[in-house]
Structure 1
């Protein structure tokens, strides 16, 4: 039996504590071995579910430990490239939270370092590992709704009261588009395999961050519209509308947290077929896919090149936006 991949986490972020560290701990082929934080209090919740966890007092100390093979990076957005490169230089495989970069150009040194080292480096874009998205991609490819005509997406939540949150701070790469725009954009690209040929957008700004962004785009074979906001009631949905039917995802991005993942297939005659995915944990599935790539050389479903494509569209949205 193969030895589980030994994982370390850089920083005791809330998201790591609630989702990714438990996923690493639970994943087949993985072992949550280390956490880098100078705060004993912040380490305690991690040690509660993983008592054997080694706590390092600095990121550098964790990266220097030869026992750690892979690192998960949940740091603020503006630190992702710096610490991903440091981890690769230290000989560690890297799974970094999205957005992995602030601009598409910043993927170039990451891809170069990945290729130089032969290590796996990827953005933690977990939804592509969820079976609902693999199911939808196959439905589209198999012509379940005929010719795809239009795609719509929405993702919103309201964090205006959390003034200290990094998403509400321009200096840490905050704003809704980088935080959740990757989902409405990347999911459409993942399902269709297409890239936009034209992008238009409008943004409402607040203290240097985008709090509402509306996107319209033309892809080679379909049109696209979406919005994201961090100042609206929680909502998420993706709809793929074809000449012969409609596919709707009710919890496309936070399955189980937002609600049960369901894929509705609307067919002629008002027929609706519903496929449910009640128990799948895309964070755990992401870690398991990563470990298979590390141990067995299996192709990773979400390479840096895919993530760069999503960031390229985000760059266009920011560059071409009119202010609301």
Structure 2
């Protein structure tokens, strides 16, 4: 019989409280055993509301608890690397929220530590465990759409709260790090290719100094991928993959609902007719599946859904977006 893993959660972040922890309830593979905050009362309050057995008044206390097997790290972006490293050095497996790092070179140290301490470490791109993205990848790789020549994406929301960490430059805020990572990651995931170069244009908020609107053109070697993101536009998201035979449309690609089936639409190009093929996926929660996949990687000593090597490749692209916008030139991704 498999050992039931004990997960600990670093911080009472909103994504942990509202999405990840509720999605991880009632599993035969694992339990949420503890949650930490720098404020013990807040940790206790959150633990009580979510049915978590143990609360900690510091992150280090949770990290060093021998009862904890796996740690979920949803701390602010600028704290991801340092606390993930602490977890690794304590012998814990770690699932860290995206973006794992704000500089791809920092990931090298995590890879070295991961291998030294023989633990599993992954980036929390829940889309990698979502059935709709697994199906999308299958459709593209099978040739069902024909040869893919172009990909388009869009992801936006509106948030102009100066106190929100997404709008704080020093904490790794801005659209590229928060949501630009998704069209980059899913394109790489589906195409199974790495872009060779890119050119971008970013508009920065004069008060926050974070990027609020951005457009990017990625060269995937015979496949052109474009996307636009914004933290100050009406909420919208979409991903389109254009093949020589058909077009694949994913209408809710990133915040996929957990209370209704996910749907993929296949078009043959004649939009004057209602001829879209609809592929309906079973109802699922991508955060639940992410936890299952990561737990199984630990229990069965398998590869995690999103490895540090994958993370490093994605981070290189995100860094290049800033470099291109600053130089107003194409940037090679090395």
Instruction: Provide TM-score, normalisation by structure 2.
Output: 0.92
Given the superposition, is the C-alpha separation of residues 227 and 259 from structure 1 closer, same or farther in structure 2, using an over 3 Å criterion? farther
Compute the displacement of 1:237 (Å). Answer: 0.4
Match in the other structure for 2:254: 253
Quick one: distance in 2 between partners of 1:39 and 1:275?
A: 47
SS at match of 2:19: helix
User: Does 2:140 correspond to 1:136?
Assistant: no
Residue number in structure 1 paired with 2:332: none
- Residues 1:258 and 1:109: Cα distance change in structure 2 (over 3 Å): farther
- The unaligned stretches of length 5 or more in structure 1 are none
Determine the structure 2 residue equivalent to 1:223.
224
Alignment of 1:1-324 (within 5 A): 1-37=1-37, 38-41=39-42, 43-50=44-51, 52-160=52-160, 162-206=161-205, 207-256=208-257, 261-267=262-268, 271-277=275-281, 279-322=283-326
| Partner Cα separation in structure 2 for residue 27 and residue 122 of structure 1 | 20
Is the 2:129–2:289 Cα contact (8 Å) retained in structure 1?
yes
Taking the aligned partners of 1:213 and 1:27, their CA distance within structure 2 comes to 40
Unaligned runs of 5+ in 2: 329-334
Q: Give the aligned partner of residue 331 of structure 2.
A: none
CA contact (8 A) 2:74 2:97 kept: yes
How many Å apart are 1:297 and its aligned residue?
1.4
SS in 1 for 2:228: strand
Kept in 1, the 8 Å contact 2:35–2:43? The answer is: no
- Residue 227 of structure 2 aligns to a residue whose secondary structure is strand
By how many angstroms is 1:302 displaced?
Answer: 1.4
Give the aligned length: 322
Describe the superposition over 1:64-120 as per-residue Cα deviations: whole angstroms up to 9, x where unpaired: 110001100111100000000000001110001100000111110011111111100
- Using the TM superposition, give the Cα deviation of residue 217 of structure 1 relative to its aligned residue in structure 2, in angstroms: 1.5
Report the alpha carbon displacement of residue 222 of structure 1 after superposing the two structures with TM. 0.5
1:103–1:315 CA contact under 8 A, matched in 2:
yes
Q: SS where residue 144 of structure 1 aligns? A: coil
Distance 2:47 2:66 in 1: 21
Give CA deviations for 1:223-271 in whole Å, capped at 9, x if unaligned: 0100111000000000000110000000000001798521101136653
Task: Verify the 8 A CA contact 1:205 1:323 in the aligned structure 2.
Answer: no
RMSD over aligned Cα, in angstroms?
Answer: 1.8
The alpha-carbon distance between structure 1 residues 306 and 28, as it changes in their structure 2 partners (threshold 3 A), is: farther
> After the TM superposition, which segments of 4 or more aligned residues of structure 1 sit over 4 Å from their partners?
257-260
Q: Summarize the Cα distance change of 1:256–1:322 in structure 2 as closer, same or farther, 3 Å threshold.
A: same
**What do the CA deviations read for 1:21-48 (whole angstroms, capped 9, x no partner)?**
1223344411100011124235424422
Secondary structure of the corresponding residue to residue 173 of structure 2: coil
**The residue matched to 1:253 in structure 2 has which SS?**
coil
**8 Å contact from structure 1 (residues 21, 46) kept in 2:** no
Deviation of residue 322 (structure 1)? 4.8
Distance 2:149 2:137 in 1: 15
Q: Distance in 2 between matches of 1:180 and 1:15?
A: 14
| Cα pair distance change 1:124/1:26, threshold 3 Å | farther
